[in-house]
Amino acid sequence: MAKKPTGSKPTGSKKDAARRGASKHTAPKSATTSRPLPAGEAQVAAVGLGSSVPDQGVSPPAGTPESKAPETETSPPAVSAHTPRTTAAAQPQTDSAPTQAPAAARLPGGSTAGGETSPEPEPKTEPKPEQATPPARSSTPADSSAPPPMRPRPTRDPEPASKPAQMPLAEPEPVPEKPLAPPPEPKLASVPEPEYEQPREPEPIHAPAPPAPARPSLFIVHITPELASVAKVGGLADVVFGLSRELAIRGNHVEIILPMYATLRHDQIFEMHEVYKDLWVPWYDGAIHCTVFFGFVHGRKCFFIEPHSPENFFNRGSIYGFKDDVLRYAFFSRAAMEFLWKAGKHPDVIHVHDWQTALVPVFLYEFYQPLGMTHPRVCLTIHNFAHQGVTGVEILHATGLHRPERFFNQDRMADNTYPKALNLLKAGIVYSNFITTVSPRYAFETKDQGQGFGLEPTLHTHQMKYGGVVNGIDYDIWNPEVDHQIPVRYSVESIDGKYDNKRALRHRLMLADNEKPIVAFIGRLDPQKGLDLVRHAIFYTLERGAQFVLLGSSPDERINGDFWGLKRMLNDSPDCHLEIGFDEDLSHLIYAGADMMLVPSRFEPCGLTQLIALRYGTVPVVREVGGLADTVFDKDYSHRPLHERNGYVFRDFDNAGLESALGRAIACYHNHPEHFRDLMKNGMRSDYSWNTPGQDYLNIYDYIREG
């Protein structure tokens, strides 16, 4: 075989030129209520003893003079699963090779906030991960290391169909001492019978449950720095995109507010027009003039805020990466709240994301509730605790949060590690009505295993309003049955189509056409992703008689340089291709054509790579952390039923652990192809759409509105 010429970074080799020439560029297919008692001000100390979250309003920090203990407490409604829009496959739970992952608290109906069913019993010595289930109020102290058990919402028999519609009565208050039990099955509405009784067929043993009663539509506003298709940097953009669609499908009114970036993909925005010309946002001792635009992004209603100021907050070449990022997003958060107030919008729920919008609940409580905006509740989703928005006192002067002594307090915004600094993410935790992260396992790790990057004490204080919900993926985009960016579409019933995509992948990347399995890595070249193990995996894969494909890049030029060196070193190998950069079309082809997907992360809040791989029948090889442990279950060591096992898992972050899992996967491919094929099908049958997470978030919204 002729040797592949080596070349410089941009030009690559003849192999790269031929690959680029062969690549396809297919386009992818109010009423205002009286101001409620500020929630949480006087109950933070009680929270540590197991009491529940505040009753009304956005949660103020503990120990404030405004707080007042409620006279009575009622048990919050359990997060019960409504009838899903589609039938979801059973969701697997953590149970991987070397260790047993902590189980999430079960929701009524047998599901968890991560969408799992029938979880395995867990070792008594391990604490359970936090579940995104609203806590049960109890008058007795609870163990501070874990939320109290949930109590199901009491149900009533529906009125007979023949009677006129009546307003539902208030649900009875459950007895606090009542043990946890599944709710009674609602009875079918009675139907008028004829005068003579007709014999009836016996009801099937597995008769479908009656439909859930219609729930009221909610007005939900997402305030976010990212949105897939128009402003994407990472997985946060995909979460907002997929979750907002699912909430809208379920009959809710959903709007999204984000900055008007100079890098915005205007070709993905339809019917954009100006809707608010004179929005003046308080800033320092004056105000900044803003214009608000409206447009549709794949059916989602979006508002874009454009400030007109010398700072050019969002008229820059990228979304993040500037020294004044904290000021930029503090201004955006204040502008979003000012727009809601000036436009007369009073949403039921404001959903904010990461530190960039964590000041929204602070502004709501400090500025807008006194003006009468008492209706909205706030849910904060933390996608990655590594980024917290730590800053100085200037942020208070800029946003109008005067009296620094009020906020430089451990019960409010003072950073736990640097008391003379302010922490925006901590402020969001303190002031929000509920906090979620992106998997139950990651919620447990951040609170109890030192992965909260200094916020562990704050999470323990507010643990009664903290839990995890596994992300979903958008099956309109990541679905081999409808994916127009791959040569051959396929399903679990026609899985042989995957091998046609494998041949197309080899042809595009000029890999040898043989019977070897293809191991792939797709993701940011970031230390979080376990780059040391990725490097080792490249050479180990080649030694074990397999092929390796990498697609990724890094904002760190040193890391990019290291992988460009690897690319030149391995350029002559017919079994390896490293693509330094990102190509959306190529990523779809790799998911469809690879046999195994490597995800050896140091920590992983949720992870979308393994979820997409499962959908495409690509067997994941992952480290047992975060959302990876909640979604991938080892073929050989899991206690789950065989039909739920879908990959290979290792625990220790070292070469030996990686070799154990990856070596078993390659050996199974060669020696037991029928077992490997079963793993592929198990993954494709799993339901990691937004169906279950969407219902979990609606349950959380209902809880914080009723509390």
- Radius of gyration, alpha carbons of the chain: 26
On whether 232 is known to bind a ligand per the annotation, the reply is yes
What distances in angstroms separate CA 416 from CA 423, 447, 598, one per listed residue?
8, 14, 35
CA geometry: angle at 698 spanning 696 and 699, to 5°?
Answer: 65
- Cβ atoms of 444 and 27 within 8 Å: the answer is no
For residue 482, the tally of other CB atoms under 10 A from its CB is: 12
Pairwise CA distance, residues 12 & 14, whole Å: 7
What contacts 24+ positions apart, CB below 8 Å, involve 187-191? 187/157, 187/158, 189/158, 189/159, 189/160, 189/161, 190/160, 190/161, 190/162, 191/161, 191/162
- Please identify which residue in the block is written with the tokens 């010595």: 125
Name residue 507's amino acid.
Answer: H
DSSP state of 188: P
Pairwise CA distance, residues 189 & 183, whole Å: 18
User: 3-class secondary structure for 323-360?
Assistant: CCHHHHHHHHHHHHHHHHHHCCCCCCEEEEECHHHCCH
Q: What is the dihedral of CA 497, 502, 671, 541, to 10 degrees?
A: -160
DSSP state of 465: G
Distance of CA 401 to the CA centre of its chain: 30
Pairwise CA distance, residues 613 & 551, whole Å: 14
Q: Which residues belong to the annotated binding site? A: 232
Q: Which residues belong to the annotated binding site for ADP-alpha-D-glucose? A: 232
